[in-house]
Amino acid sequence: MKNLLDENVKKEIISRIDKLSPTSKALWGKMNVNQGLRHMSMSLDIPTGNLNPTLGKVPPLPKWLMKFFLLNAKIPKEKGVTFSELNTVSNNINPDDFESEKELLKKQLEQFYSAPTLIPENKLGGKFSKKDWGKLNYNHMDHHLRQFGA
């Protein structure tokens, strides 16, 4: 499993972000590309402690099992559920400047990568190491970059 805290993996993700354009269309889901970029940027605020999302309906699984799925399973197309704060469609977050959103995401990615520490717990998966956060955020970004064909 790839990890966003690996320099080569980070470069791969940045290269994929750079393949997006203002006309990139979603292959599934409701977000447009600008909303997708903002959603990914906002998600990187969770492990750094800059966003404390609200838990909605939690699946009836023990945290250790949820952690296993979060770190090892591909997110199913159109079936992913997000924290309410990150739902750019429901919250009517619709940025209009593609280049600004792309640069913000790359900046957030660099801050995540260089953060000396990350929060020690994931609300769904329990105790999380820095390596765990790197895997989870790779999975999340990979999912949304694939959503937009990158």
Most distant CA pair in the chain, distance: 41
> With 90 as the cut, is the pLDDT of residue 41 above it?
yes
pTM for this entry: 0.93
| pLDDT tens readout for residues 52-101 | 998 877 778 899 998 998 899 887 776 667 888 988 998 999 999 999 99
For residue 121, give the 3-state DSSP assignment: strand
Q: Is residue 116 part of a domain?
A: yes
Q: Is residue 2 part of a domain?
A: no
Report yes or no: 128 and 46 within 8 Å, Cβ to Cβ: no
Encoded tokens for 85: 């704060």
Quote the pLDDT of residue 118: 96
- Residue 52: count of CB within 10 angstroms of its CB: 11
| pLDDT tens readout for residues 95-120 | 999 999 999 999 999 999 999 999 99
The pLDDT-based confidence of 42 (bands split at 50, 70, 90) is: very high
The CATH number that applies at residue 72 is 1.20.120
Split into its structural domains, the chain has a count of 1
HSE on the CB side for 148, CA within 13 Å? Answer: 26
Structural domain boundaries enclosing 65: 7-147
